[in-house]
Chain A
């Protein structure tokens, strides 16, 4: 389809949808004064009912935990789909050597890069763990912390090079960790059913307001999401890096010695 035809189709679709879009736009609330009662109710009831100070985490991991279960399953499926697509032609076999493109020089990593990335990796990993653990108290939570942990693992690759990185990061371990995260969430949601309560009921001790251990079942679901997100994103990084190496690169030398 030529670009002109595509633009014409777009204009046609826009012309058809414009009246509906205008109708919706007119119904938007005045900026700065929301009319939704749900958010205000959550803000008012969250601290006394759940002893947590982060209302976003309360919405995600308690009040609307069922939706987060769906979101986590969607993340799981997307990661699984990407991994299956990438491994499809390559097979299960993995290579501990970095990819080499003929004609492109292999540069040795400088000492400064190794030192800087090792320091940054440690700090980023600590920050990610802090983000996950303090999800119910301060801004952050399992989703944000999980992605920060995954980027710390990527910094480890920059510091150590491909070979040592692959010896540290094992693909089967990541599979297990990600599945464990999803299972933990499902288990925390289904456990109240055994004692005759509704699914996702918050039956664990709630702890104290503004304390690290506050929120009851939110601590478990938050940690489960952090685990699944971190493992899932590291798995994506690993599969995309594995993709860069040539299929028949076994005879090629590993990265240049420093």
Chain B
């Protein structure tokens, strides 16, 4: 039982990453692809939070319980915060690029796009 619980977070993380990666590879629409990238990234949230987790420990915020009591790893939580902010900003940037591609090429299907060539 405890062995299964100990492996579960890593499995969830690996599954999320695999599902997102499969979506990226088989994507037929750039917005779908960006959403799949967000799924991939959520695997890293699960992984980081699981690495920092401690059984029978509170949050690393010593407001309700006194300093010195057991708490989970605050560095991992700070990393997840960084991860989420960077993910949101990068998604916005990618969506802006997708909009430009749609304007210039009239398509958002990665397959139908050909490499850029210089004008002749």
Assess whether A34 is in contact with B97, with CB atoms less than 8 Å apart: no
Which A residues touch B60, using CB under 8 A?
A: 39, 42-43, 54-56
Which A residues touch B92, using CB under 8 A?
A: 78-79, 82, 236, 240
Which B residues touch A34, using CB under 8 A?
A: 51-54, 72-73, 76
Assess whether B68 is in contact with A39, with CB atoms less than 8 Å apart: no
Main secondary structure of the interface of B (DSSP, over half): helix
Query: In angstroms, how far is the closest chain A Cβ from the Cβ of B113?
Result: 10
Q: Assuming the A-B contacts A53-B63, A74-B89, A88-B100, are A33 and B71 also in contact, with contact meaning beta carbons closer than 8 angstroms in the complex?
A: no
Which B residues touch A138, using CB under 8 A?
A: 61, 63
Query: In angstroms, how far is the closest chain B Cβ from the Cβ of A239?
Result: 8
Main secondary structure of the interface of A (DSSP, over half): helix
Q: Assuming the A-B contacts A1-B111, A60-B78, are A32 and B54 also in contact, with contact meaning beta carbons closer than 8 angstroms in the complex?
A: yes
B25 within 8 A of A: yes
Residue of B nearest to A140 (CB): B61
Residue of B nearest to A86 (CB): B96
Assess whether B96 is in contact with A81, with CB atoms less than 8 Å apart: yes
A53 to B51 alpha-carbon distance, docked (Å): 22
- For window 79-116 of A, CB contacts with B under 8 Å fall at 79, 81-82, 85-86, 88-89
- What number of A-B contacts does a CB cutoff of 8 Å give? 153
Q: Assuming the A-B contacts A30-B6, A82-B96, are A56 and B71 also in contact, with contact meaning beta carbons closer than 8 angstroms in the complex?
A: no
Residue of B nearest to A144 (CB): B81
Q: Assuming the A-B contacts A39-B74, A53-B63, A78-B92, are A28 and B51 also in contact, with contact meaning beta carbons closer than 8 angstroms in the complex?
A: yes
B19 within 8 A of A: no
Give the number of residues in B that approach A within 8 Å (Cβ atoms): 49
List, sorted by A's number, 14 A–B pairs whose CB atoms are closer than 8 Å.
Answer: A28-B51, A31-B7, A32-B6, A36-B76, A48-B67, A53-B62, A54-B61, A56-B78, A144-B81, A229-B85, A232-B89, A236-B92, A239-B96, A240-B96
Interface residues of B (CB under 8 A from A): 5-10, 21-22, 25-26, 28, 50-55, 59-63, 67-68, 71-78, 81-82, 84-86, 88-90, 92-93, 95-97, 99-100, 103, 111
